[in-house]
Amino acid sequence: MQRKRFYYLIELQYLGFRYHGWQKQPDVNTVERMLDRTLAYVLKDRKFKVIAAGRTDAKVSVNQTFVELFLEKEPIDTQAFFEELNYNLPPDIRALSVKETNKDFNIIQSPKSKEYCYFFAYGKKIHPFAAPFMAYIREDLNIEIMQRAAKLFVGEHDFKAYAFRRTPNTITTGKIEACELIKNSMYQANFFPETSYVLKIKGAGFKRHQIRLMMGILIDLGRGDIDLDFVEQTLNPKEDIRLEHIAPASGLVLQNVTLEN
């Protein structure tokens, strides 16, 4: 007799500063590990598994993502489950919604668009309380030239220079739908610096560390270590450039994930 399985989509957000990323790892605290423990408590003896729409690295935060929950035995009351899940999750992880889906939905194969934001400030040292939310750059930055460079990333490019530890089999081409560097008005707190900035990037998918490498080259450009021509060279498929400046993780936020199905 075939076992009955039920499918749910959990909309989730979390502050990543104290976690070693999303994926479960031995002997370290991760978001997936914390979610699994909470689900095991809430669901009692029911068998389950979860698959996320994507992974994040250590200290990277998420404003919105999705997790698919596969549940054996019997269905759940989504509203009661939603309330109990949030009651038992730690304060830095929150479920935004729980909806029933079906076996035809596949969170990995479902077309999706992701928007990332990288928050940073420079010059005067920021308040320590702001450290989980934005990166701090000691040197002065030329924001105007960084803004010009950010626009170069828009469109279809070979991002092999931004592919961390690429191999001959790594697919490095991709398309960025939008990329802009603007003053931060998205998140505010009285301990934030008077002026901070955000790099907003939207696309269908990104390689590991790709956005932090993009932010790293913008920081190098803003400090005057490189020029705009070099940024253009990194997008030339004929060049063999391997970038090494990975910007700090704590400034990066997965802002939202859009599922088309």
User: Model pTM?
Assistant: 0.93
172/24: higher pLDDT: 24
* Residue bearing tokens 């598994």: 49
The secondary structure of the chain in percent helix, strand, coil, rounded to multiples of 5, reads: 25, 30, 45
Q: At what angle do helices 31-42 and 78-88 cross, to 10 degrees?
A: 120
What's residue 173's pLDDT? 86
Judged against a pLDDT cut of 60, whether residue 242 lies above it is answered with: yes
Q: For the segment 94-133, what is each residue's pLDDT rounded down to a tens digit?
A: 999 999 998 888 888 876 899 999 999 999 999 999 999 9
Task: For residue 62, give the H/E element and its range.
Answer: strand 61-72
Looking at residue 95, its pLDDT comes to 98
The neighbour count for residue 108, using CB atoms within 10 Å, is 10
Among candidate residues 36, 57, 92, 158, the one labeled active-site is 57
- Mean pLDDT score of the chain: 93
The residue ranges of every structural domain in the chain are: 5-100, 112-259
Domains 5-100 and 112-259 share a fold: yes
| 225 in active site | no
Residue count (the chain) = 261
Is 118 within 8 Å of 252 (Cβ atoms)?
A: yes
Average pLDDT over residues 176-192: 96
Per-residue confidence (pLDDT) for residue 82, from 0 to 100: 97
Which residues on neighbouring strands pair with residue 49, listed in sequence order? 70
What topology does CATH give the domain 5-100? Alpha-Beta Plaits (3.30.70)
pLDDT recorded at residue 2: 57
DSSP state of 128: G
Residue 116 is assigned to a ligand binding site = yes
Options 3.40.50.620, 1.20.1050.10, 3.10.20.30, 3.30.70.660; CATH for 112-259 is 3.30.70.660
Mean pLDDT, rounded, for 159-184: 87
| DSSP letter for each residue of 232-244 | HHHT-TT------
Helix (H, G, I), strand (E, B) or coil at 260: coil
Q: Residue 249 above 80 pLDDT?
A: yes
Average pLDDT estimate for 43-69: 93
pLDDT the model gives residue 1 = 47
3-state secondary structure (DSSP) of residue 176: strand
Q: Tokens in use for 9? A: 């989509």
Query: 34-43, 102-111, 206-215, 224-233: which range is least confident on average?
Result: 102-111
d(CA 225, CA 229): 12
Mean pLDDT of 125-146: 97
